[in-house]
Structure 1
Amino acid sequence: MRTKQITDTILMVRPVAFRMNEETAVNNYFQKKLTDLDANAEAQKEFDRFVEKLRSVGVNVITVDDVIEDNTPDSIFPNNWVSFHETGKIALYPMFAENRRKERRLEYFAKLEEAGFEIKEVIDYTSAEEDDVFLEGTGSLILDRVNQKAYCALSPRADEDLMIEFCEDFEFTPVIFNAFQTVNGKRLPIYHTNVMMCVAEEFAVVCLDTIDDKKERKNLLKHLKEDGKEIIAISEAQMHEFAGNMLQVQGDKKYLVMSERARKSLNPDQVAKIEKHCEILSADLPTIEICGGGSARCMMAEVFLPKA
């Protein structure tokens, strides 16, 4: 039985080449190009303010700097290429966009070891890229670590067979479904599960409207309810404001972390339901959200590794 759903330690990567990534825009429908703006400079400011905000409430944020030579526009979203586990294992994931594969910088792990964390084994799934098979970390996988379940919306970036292989290796039960958003009048797969769903200790925020198949929706709800999660439903319009892209963390108390845009999209009833369980901490991330097509949750790679 895993013991913790939330952690007090987060790994974050400070960007140096941030911009709208043309390679990910093909199936990330949240991205837009901003003109007349130094996107990287703005993203760095948003990043620094966000880190400061997390640290001010007692979250242990370990920051590393991206490397300019690699020209990695999405390095600010490390949760897609790595996950850290209480067993001392690390998973490395295959990435859809070729220019994101350079984000996997193993030298970052030395900083975790310097901070006193123990790494026992690295399980590497990246060879799947040779077969055009992808599974983008805790973007694709929403992990209920206590109940040992992994929720996954299938997409070009989340392969079913590889997801099941991960579940076998890390002892999770797979909960698989399809989730869609309306783009120009068509229902298209949502690129990452973590934009439509968040699982916290006592509750789950989920956009049920994206799961068109009634059986799949019912199965998802069954799993959440049997684990005692209060379900806080958000609309598809709220999902487009990144209201599904949230992460519960431990600081001086428990916080649900999200962007200011996501926070503003919530109605009073949803806020009240969340605040029954923990405080909301929001950060203003407009450039990162518009150009990167990701939000607060994507920026945080949770560290669950044991202390050495």
Structure 2
Amino acid sequence: MLKQQPKQQKAVSTVQNANCVVMVPPKEFAFNAETALDNEFQHQVSQTTEQVRELAMREFRVMADQLRGAGVQVIEFDYPLGQIETPDAVFPNNWFSTTSDGALYTFPMACQNRQQEVRPDALCAALENSGRKVKSQDSLVDYLDQDAHLESTGVMVIDHLNKTIYAALSQRCDREVLEDYAERIGYERVVSFQTALPSGKPIYHTNVMMAIGEHFCVICDEVIPEFERRFVIKSLAKDKQVISISLEQMNQFCGNILELETDAGDKVIAMSQSAYDAFSPAQRAQLSSHAKLMPFNVKTIESIGGGSVRCMLGEVFLQKC
């Protein structure tokens, strides 16, 4: 479960919250039959593709504008179209990550049409045009040759302050690739664990069941086997307020939230309106004690895509130029 990683001489992120995010407009958004094989959060709808994309684009635009209005830098990555459509491109946090020493990492995605989303050169250009320069690139995509996958901060929920990575193992989160990434960025601890939904399937992405802020954690611990659950909660509770959510709340994306920082240094927690409504008043009060809550209506995106607000935000820890 727990592997101690050797310390690396890398100046990786020493803050928990990013003040800049990448968002991708959902111009090819649609129900993705490939990812639906292990993503029980996806649902098909009766609307036409054009209707779905219009609704998704409206949700995206409101969310991006409101985040900017709050003081969070939003970089819109209007990616170049390829021969294969990328219906899940609106969820960019699954294929890249960044560190404060200027590194961009890219990851091996499990589904073929999601592998088409990995466009590091185009992303580097978009980042640099927005004042965030990439100094080096590193890729774990070669693990695809071994049919091994690691879908970035979809499967890794990271406590940057304690240099600890939490990850629910699944076909989208291979233990070997996970530990390789942790070693590359110099993070000493990997806490990996099993999960099981009522169907018996594992959680497809860790970030639908848990989120870590600077001083809090939200987690649906009932999906973790008891013998591992105690260890995970004990690790989190060392310096975080642990807010436990139910399976029903997880299904409303209460675990799919992200704490961010504004230009003024204030903290906000981005979440969907569905998640906000599903939190109890006491839980909302707990979260509000840490940061301002910012709910967004992304019902179309989360219902059809099976991911919510956190999945739409690719954190940028790169320093300003």
How far apart are the structure 2 equivalents of 1:85 and 1:233? Answer: 29
- Residue 180 of structure 1, CA deviation: 1.9
Residue in 1 that maps onto 2:134: 119
The answer as to 2:193 corresponding to 1:180 is: no
How far apart are the structure 1 equivalents of 2:133 and 2:88? Answer: 27
Map 1:56-67 → 2, pairs under 5 A: 56-67=69-80
Post-superposition CA distance 1:191-250 (Å, at most 9, x none): 0000000000000000111112x2211111121122x10001100100000000000001
Aligned length: 303
Which of 234, 244, 256 is matched with 1:233 structurally?
244
Residue in 2 that maps onto 1:155: 170
How far apart are the structure 1 equivalents of 2:204 and 2:221? Answer: 16
In 2, are the aligned partners of 1:196 and 1:244 still within 8 Å (CA)? yes
Which of 54, 65, 87 is matched with 1:73 structurally?
87
Matched to 2:146, the amino acid is D
More off after superposition, 61-70 vs 281-290: 61-70
Matched to 1:17, the amino acid is E
The answer as to 2:277 corresponding to 1:277 is: no
The answer as to 2:101 corresponding to 1:87 is: yes
- Residue 297 of structure 1, CA deviation: 0.1
- Residue 19 of structure 1, CA deviation: 0.3
Residue in 2 that maps onto 1:217: 229
Residue in 2 that maps onto 1:242: 253
- Residue 123 of structure 1, CA deviation: 1.3
How far apart are the structure 2 equivalents of 1:123 and 1:193? Answer: 23
How far apart are the structure 2 equivalents of 1:265 and 1:100? Answer: 30
Residue in 2 that maps onto 1:307: 320
Residue in 1 that maps onto 2:3: none
SS in 1 for 2:168: strand
- Residue 276 of structure 1, CA deviation: 1.1
- Residue 41 of structure 1, CA deviation: 1.4
In 2, are the aligned partners of 1:11 and 1:302 still within 8 Å (CA)? yes
How far apart are the structure 1 equivalents of 2:252 and 2:302? Answer: 9
The answer as to 2:29 corresponding to 1:13 is: no
In 1, are the aligned partners of 2:124 and 2:133 still within 8 Å (CA)? no
How far apart are the structure 1 equivalents of 2:53 and 2:227? Answer: 43
SS in 1 for 2:201: strand
Any runs of at least 4 consecutive aligned residues in structure 1 with deviations exceeding 3 A, and if so which?
Answer: 66-70
Structure with greater proportional strand content = 1
Which blocks of at least 5 consecutive residues in structure 2 are unaligned? 1-10
- Residue 15 of structure 1, CA deviation: 1.7
How far apart are the structure 1 equivalents of 2:235 and 2:114? Answer: 33
Post-superposition CA distance 1:57-82 (Å, at most 9, x none): 11110102133444100000000000
In 1, are the aligned partners of 2:95 and 2:108 still within 8 Å (CA)? yes
Matched to 2:101, the amino acid is T
Map 1:128-143 → 2, pairs under 5 A: 128-143=143-158
Report the identity percentage.
37
SS in 2 for 1:49: helix
How far apart are the structure 2 equivalents of 1:299 and 1:180? Answer: 24
How far apart are the structure 1 equivalents of 2:248 and 2:86? Answer: 30
Residue in 2 that maps onto 1:32: 43
In 2, are the aligned partners of 1:88 and 1:119 still within 8 Å (CA)? yes
- Residue 179 of structure 1, CA deviation: 1.7
In 2, are the aligned partners of 1:15 and 1:66 still within 8 Å (CA)? no
CA RMSD of aligned residues (A): 1.2
